[in-house]
Amino acid sequence: MTPSANIGPVDRVLRVVVAIGLAAWGYFGLGSPWSFVAYAGAAVLMFTALVRFCLAYRILGISTCKIAR
């Protein structure tokens, strides 16, 4: 069973922008332990934006995608 897309285009762009911001914040602004948390959050956001599927959205029954694939 393959997951269907549940992340729309606006949501994808926001996730990419926030992921880049988190990665930059982790690199330039945070101390060592917290930078790994920022990197992990950025990785999750970037991955979900790339695959257009969010497990939390699926569990909560949310979809920002106009056409389900």
pLDDT in tens, 2-51: 678 899 999 999 999 999 999 999 888 877 888 899 999 999 999 999 99
Is 68's pLDDT higher than 70?
Answer: no
Domain extents in the chain: 9-60
| Tokens read off for 35 | 């930078």
Q: Is the pLDDT of residue 66 over 90?
A: no
Residue 69 has pLDDT above 60, yes or no: no
DSSP state of 35: H
Q: How far is CA 19 from CA 26, 50, 61, 65, in A?
A: 10, 12, 23, 20
Residue 1 scores a pLDDT above 70: no
- Judge whether residue 58 has pLDDT over 80: yes
Look-up: residue for tokens 């939390």?
Answer: 56
**Strand ranges inside 23-68, DSSP E:** none
